[in-house]
Every structure is written in structure tokens, then in C-alpha cells.
Chains A and B, each alone.
Chain A
């Protein structure tokens, strides 16, 4: 493979990195864990003039709780998230999603910033970030802007990020005591598989019973971007989440999704599986709520 025509710069500080993003006139692309970038370079899809290697910017790898929420640095790996006790306690749905990414090697390399940057509708952390009301912080030499995740993606591989910007922080809402979440994924095989359909659910329960006070549901891989299932969300509070209630909610899922057929699955199969995954997720969540 001819690689010599592509250059690489490894900035030592974020300021230097933003400067290069701002000034470099030809095509430049950030390189973090490389698990999407290098695959696409080899396939000939991504051939920038310059790789801007940010892997060494250790300041961008953090998980911490601040006044306005839990802050996650873009260079945080999937393994970091799986192992974080803060996320286990206050963002279980994101931990579940990170666990489902690839296998050990890919989780050790791949980052949350890269998952967002690739902007695949099948990206596993994205539905989890939707139900945790994530806000994406974009920085450039001109300053910072914060974009709610539902406004961040505009299509497969496309986001509102400008050429001179990069993701420097991801802020999520910590779950409350009465809140539980789950991530369910259907892939062609158990490990190392891109989602055919995935769903993240976060529920706020009221009291000890099966009454839900509100919740969010987000599907991946069933539309050009990850989507919220708003009709299903409305139903969450209108009936108890017993088997019958759950089945009613899940049966609406096919109306929410707008999948395509591709090499991984047909549109019809994705629609059916959206219902099945939502039902399975809600049943498992209620079982966990009961057993807690």
C-alpha cells in the first residue's frame, strides 16, 4: 500500500492542534484510535493530505463529574468507559454500549470522539448519548460552542462540525437514583459486529412499582442518523410497564423507524427487530428494577 503521500503531524498541545486545523489549507483529518480512520484509509475512502494525530493529547482523556454534568474527554477509550466506576454508577447505559463495541483490541483503541466523528448511524455509543442528553463541545481557535447531540448529526458521516473545529468534551446528564438504563444491540455475530439495529433506553421510575415517570428511547441503524422514538416515549408513562404495557409500546416501534436495506439486513427485518429489541430491553430493565 502506498502511504507515503499522506503526512502526519502530532501536535503537543490542543492550542497547536486547533491552530493547524485553522490554518492548513488542504484536506486534514483528525486521527485518534484509528479504528475507523486507518480502515478507511486502506480502503481508499479517506485519503487526506494530512493526518492530525491527537492520540498523544493526554489532556483530552478524562471522565469526571462537574456542576453541569459528567464530562468525558474525546480521547476516552471504550475500555476506559467500561471500567469507569463513575459511569457505572451514573450512566449505566453508556457503559453497556461501550461494552458492545468490537472486541478487546478495538475497545482499547477506539475512542468516544472517534465514534462521534465517524457519525455512523450504527455507532454504538450514540444512542446511549442521546438518552443521556449529551452535549458536544466543539472548539476552534475562535472559541467554543456546545451542541445538543440531537442537533449534531445531519446524515450518515455528516455532522455540524466545521473544518476548523474538533470535539473537546462530551457532557452528559448523570442518572438519578430512580433512573435505570440499558443498551441492546443486534449484530451479525456476537463480537466485532456493526449493529443491524441498536437501542438505548433510559427510564425514570416513580415509586417502587412498575410505573414510569418518563424516559427516553433512541434507535441506531434504522435511519440516516440515530433517532428518538417519541411515540414510544409518550406511551411509557401512560400504562404500567408490565408485560402487556411493554408489548404495546414495543409494537409501535416499527412506526418510528425508517430503515434501509443494505448488506447487513433488509429494511423489513430491521423494522421487526426494532420492536423485538425494544421489547427485550424494556423487559430486562423491569426485571432489573424488580431485582434491585
Chain B
């Protein structure tokens, strides 16, 4: 057992646990953040996606002893039902979720993707951006559309902020 300290969604956390437990298990069992889901457990489906220092990773392949001092963001940190992120609003608007099991992983991967782009992406770029996430229900069309909608929204807000000479405005 060891004491491990790291940040989750902006808050300092201290957990006493085995260093070789996966980050996913610690988030779910020790910190009760059950948004991130385990599906394949092998890095193939992306349902466990979280960000570590803004980079999206599979939390099922990270051992918690490796994240001492790191900054982690889960789907709960992207947005909640009372304070939704544009990507979550877009998923609802476009009907991009069915059973919902894959959705948190897609939301995190899409948020990380949106953070890194500088213009509205092409469909191909979106597909490439979420290639690490699998959905067995939707057929992806609506997920891709939702991400495109969110991207358009993001850049139109930035555009509006620029024309008002106010870059501090809510960028996204």
C-alpha cells in the first residue's frame, strides 16, 4: 500500500491504495467518479478515456503509482448536467448517444481534440481524432456530427469574442 497524491478535476486527492491498481479502478472505486467506464480493459475502446495534463489517455492502462503529482481530468470535470460543456450539449442536440456506455469516453476524447484544433475540423479529421473510441450502437455518424457542431459553436464564440475586442469572453 502507498499514499498517492494527485489532482482530479482541479481538486487535490490523496488515496491509500496499491500502486499497481489501475487509475480507472481508483477513480471508480476509491473516488466514486464512475463516469469513466471499463469495457475492454486493454486500450482498444476508449471508454475509460481521461486527460492527464491535457493529453487524453486510457485510464485502464495507467497504474495509479504513475500519476503522483499529475493533473487528471475526467468526464465529470469536463461538465456536469447542471453545467454542461458545449460538447455535451452538442451530443444531446444531435442525439449522439444510445446506450450511453461509450459516451463519457467520447466526451473526454472530443474535448481533448477540440482543445488542440485551430479551425473547424473536417469530418476526416474528426474521425481520426476519435479513432481510439468504439461505439457499438450509434454507427458514429451522429457522434461525428455532434463534434462538428461543437467545433462550429466553439469557433463562432471565439469569432464573436474577437470582433467585440474581448478575448476574455467565454471562448468555449
Over the window 30-53 of chain A, the binary record of Cβ atoms lying under 8 Å from chain B Cβ atoms (1 yes, 0 no) is: 010111001101100000000101
Chain B residue at minimum C-beta to C-beta distance from A33: B61
A34, A35, A56, A102: the one contacting B68 at CB < 8 Å is: A56
Chain A residue with Cβ nearest B60: A38
CB distance from B128 to the nearest CB of A (A): 8
Q: Is B63 an interface residue (CB 8 A)?
A: yes
Write the B124-139 contact mask toward A (1 if CB under 8 angstroms, else 0). Answer: 0000111111000000
Interface set, chain B 90-134, CB cutoff 8 A to A: 109, 112-113, 128-133
B63 and A104 within 8 A (CB):
no
- A16 contacts the other chain (Cβ, under 8 Å)? no
Question: Is residue A267 contacting chain B, with contact meaning CB distance below 8 A?
Answer: no
Residue of B nearest to A108 (CB): B55
Contact, CB under 8 Å: B57 / A8: no
Does B66 lie within 8 Å of A31, measured CB to CB?
yes
A190 and B57 CA atoms in complex are apart in Å by 19
Question: Given A35-B43, A38-B61, A190-B131, are A8 and B20 neighbors across the interface (CB < 8 Å)?
Answer: yes
Q: With A39-B43, A103-B132 in contact, is A51–B56 under 8 Å at CB?
A: no
> Residue on A with the closest CB to B2?
A8
What 1/0 flags go to A86-121 for Cβ under 8 Å of B? 000000000000000011111011000000000000
B27 to chain A, nearest CB (A): 15
Knowing A42-B41, A191-B132, say if A106 contacts B58 (CB, 8 Å).
yes
A residues in contact with B61, CB < 8 Å: 33-35, 38-39, 109
Q: Contacts of B133 on A, CB cut-off 8 Å?
A: 103
B122: shortest Cβ distance to chain A, in Å? Answer: 16
Give a binary string over B12-30; 1 marks a CB under 8 Å from any A CB, 0 the rest: 0000001111100000000
Q: How far is the CA of A41 from the CA of B62 in the complex (A)?
A: 12
A7 at the interface (CB under 8 A from B): yes
Residues from chain A with a CB closer than 8 A to the CB of B21 are: 3
Across the interface, A8 reaches (CB within 8 A) one of B56, B65, B129, B131, namely: B65
- Closest CB in chain A relative to B152 CB, distance in Å: 21
A104 and chain B: residue at smallest CB distance:
B132
Q: In the bound complex, what is the Cα–Cα distance between A109 and B56 (angstroms)?
A: 9
Q: In whole Å, how far is A194's beta carbon from the nearest beta carbon of chain B?
A: 11
Does A8 lie within 8 Å of B63, measured CB to CB?
yes
| Cβ-based interface call for A79 (8 A) | yes
Residues of B within 8 A of A33 (CB): 61
Least Cβ–Cβ distance between A240 and chain B, in angstroms: 34
> Nearest Cβ distance between residue B142 and chain A, in whole angstroms?
19
Q: How many Å lie between the Cα of A79 and that of B129 in the bound state?
A: 13
Q: Provide the residues of chain A in CB contact with B57, threshold 8 Å.
A: 105, 108-109
Pairwise interchain contact A8-B19, C-beta atoms closer than 8 A? yes
User: A108 is contacted by which of B19, B56, B60, B65 (Cβ under 8 Å)?
Assistant: B56
Residues of chain B from 32 to 74 with CB closer than 8 A to chain A in the complex: 41-44, 46, 49, 55-58, 60-63, 65-66, 68
Q: Is the CB of A105 within 8 A of B132?
A: yes
Which residue from chain B places its CB closest to the CB of A189 in the assembled complex? B131
CB distance from B160 to the nearest CB of A (A): 29
A104 touches B43 (CB 8 A): no
Interface residues of B (CB under 8 A from A): 18-22, 41-44, 46, 49, 55-58, 60-63, 65-66, 68, 109, 112-113, 128-133
Top 6 A-B pairs, shortest CB-CB distance: A103-B132, A191-B131, A8-B19, A3-B20, A8-B65, A103-B131
7 contacting pairs across A/B (C-beta < 8 A): A7-B20, A10-B65, A35-B58, A103-B133, A104-B132, A105-B56, A191-B132
A interface with B by C-beta (< 8 Å): 3-4, 6-8, 10, 31, 33-35, 38-39, 41-42, 51, 53, 55-56, 79, 102-106, 108-109, 190-192
